[in-house]
């Protein structure tokens, strides 16, 4: 099981925002308050420009360093920002934070790496880029429609839907997901047929088939996968889709799901 990654939201002034968007700014320096203490390595931070809230970038956190004071923070990051003067830096921090806050929380350097400069175009759950403005769900519908004229693809229907669901797990109960992971492994490793898998699943659930989570209990986490549905959709190219579905399923299996 992939570890759960959260998306945090922060704002940036236009200058630093543009620098981060172009990849020149690789860290964000903040008070290490309760909000920042939630940030873990591997999480994502979506930065919004303070001057235009429609401007967003998505970054991944690659390291975290804590410092007792803004002075120590400055010394720690000096090499990355050679043009900065300590006095100006400290002054800018006190525009946001008080001495009391500095003493209480200390400072945090958050190392970030740009994931995309246009996060509205990626799926918040599987990270797939949207092709032709289609969501993952739209692409699934189109791929399934190809099954009508592609018997090889039709045979992989189980794999198509299982792969989609495993990469979009927020709506499902954990028990249903673990069942599905087992079924995918059985199918890929031992060639167990979908009808046999269905039979086993209904026995395991003993009638109480609670598959979907309540809408209010669903939490979306972004996970990065080596292959997502957009690669199967392949810009609407139906040819060879069965082969791509098998690669997709295998890549999910190999990634430990
Ligand atoms: Zn998706």
What's the rounded Cα separation, in Å, for the pair 1 and 174? 11
User: Is the pLDDT score of 46 beyond 60?
Assistant: yes
Does residue 131 lie in a domain region?
Answer: no
Q: How far is the CA of 203 from the centre of ligand 1 (A)?
A: 30
Q: How far is the CA of 127 from the centre of ligand 1 (A)?
A: 6
For residue 110, what pLDDT is reported?
A: 98
For residue 205, what pLDDT is reported?
A: 59
Does residue 25 lie in a domain region?
Answer: yes
Q: How far is the CA of 109 from the centre of ligand 1 (A)?
A: 31
- Provide the CATH number for the domain around residue 94: 2.30.130.30
pLDDT tens digits for range 125-181: 999 987 777 889 999 999 999 999 999 999 999 999 999 999 999 999 998 899 899
140 & 249 share domain: yes
Mark the residues whose beta carbon lies below 5 A from ion ligand 1: 123, 125-126, 128, 136
Last residue of a domain, one of 120, 147, 169: 120
Q: How far is the CA of 37 from the centre of ligand 1 (A)?
A: 28
- Kindly report the average pLDDT of the chain as a whole number: 90
DSSP assignments along 90-120, one per residue = HHHHHHH--HHHHHHH-EEEEEEEEEES-GG
User: Is the pLDDT score of 2 beyond 50?
Assistant: no
Domain enclosing residue 160, as ranges? 136-254
For residue 1, what pLDDT is reported?
A: 42
Does residue 105 lie in a domain region?
Answer: yes
What's the rounded Cα separation, in Å, for the pair 40 and 31? 15
Does residue 129 lie in a domain region?
Answer: no
47 & 155 share domain: no
158 & 101 share domain: no
- Please write down the long-range contacts of 214-219, taking CB distance under 8 Å and 24 or more positions apart: 218/170, 218/171, 219/170
pTM over 0.75: no
Q: How far is the CA of 140 from the centre of ligand 1 (A)?
A: 10
Does residue 151 lie in a domain region?
Answer: yes
Q: How far is the CA of 217 from the centre of ligand 1 (A)?
A: 19
Does residue 126 lie in a domain region?
Answer: no
76 & 164 share domain: no
Last residue of a domain, one of 78, 95, 120: 120
Using a 10 angstrom Cβ sphere, with 0-12 exposed, 13-18 middle and 19 or more buried, the burial of residue 189 is exposed
Which of 74-78, 95-99, 212-216, 232-236 comes out lowest in average pLDDT? 212-216
112 & 184 share domain: no
- Domain tally, the chain: 2
Last residue of a domain, one of 88, 120, 152: 120
The pLDDT-based confidence of 254 (bands split at 50, 70, 90) is: very high
Does residue 235 lie in a domain region?
Answer: yes
243 & 161 share domain: yes
Residue that has been written with the tokens 């669903």 in this structure: 218
179 & 104 share domain: no
User: Is the pLDDT score of 256 beyond 90?
Assistant: no
What's the rounded Cα separation, in Å, for the pair 164 and 135? 12
For residue 151, what pLDDT is reported?
A: 96
Q: How far is the CA of 189 from the centre of ligand 1 (A)?
A: 25
Q: How far is the CA of 76 from the centre of ligand 1 (A)?
A: 38
Q: How far is the CA of 138 from the centre of ligand 1 (A)?
A: 10
User: Which DSSP category does 122 fall into?
Assistant: B
Q: How far is the CA of 52 from the centre of ligand 1 (A)?
A: 26
What's the rounded Cα separation, in Å, for the pair 226 and 213? 27
């Amino acid at each position: 099981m992939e570890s759960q990654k959260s998306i945090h939201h922060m704002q940036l002034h236009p200058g630093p925002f543009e620098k981060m968007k172009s990849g020149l700014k690789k860290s964000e320096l903040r008070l290490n308050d309760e909000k920042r203490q939630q940030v873990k390595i591997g999480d994502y931070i979506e930065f919004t420009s303070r001057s235009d809230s429609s401007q967003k970038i998505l970054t991944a956190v690659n390291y975290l360093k804590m410092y007792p004071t803004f002075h120590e923070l400055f010394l720690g990051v000096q090499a990355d920002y050679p043009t900065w003067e300590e006095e100006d830096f400290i002054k800018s921090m006190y525009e946001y934070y008080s001495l009391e806050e500095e003493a209480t929380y200390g400072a945090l350097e958050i190392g970030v790496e740009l994931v995309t400069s246009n996060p509205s175009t990626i799926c918040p759950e599987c990270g797939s880029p949207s092709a032709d403005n289609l969501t993952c769900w739209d692409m699934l519908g189109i791929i399934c429609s190809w099954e009508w004229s592609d018997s090889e693809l039709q045979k992989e229907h189980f794999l198509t839907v299982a792969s989609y669901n495993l990469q979009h797990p927020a709506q499902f109960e954990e028990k249903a997901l673990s069942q599905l992971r087992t079924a995918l492994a059985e199918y890929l490793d031992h060639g167990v047929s979908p009808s046999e898998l269905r039979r086993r699943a209904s026995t395991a659930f003993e009638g109480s088939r609670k598959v979907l989570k309540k809408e209010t209990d669903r939490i979306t986490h972004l996970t990065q996968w080596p292959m997502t549905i957009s690669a199967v959709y392949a810009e609407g190219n139906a040819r060879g889709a069965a082969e791509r579905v098998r690669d997709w399923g295998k890549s999910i299996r190999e990634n430990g799901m």
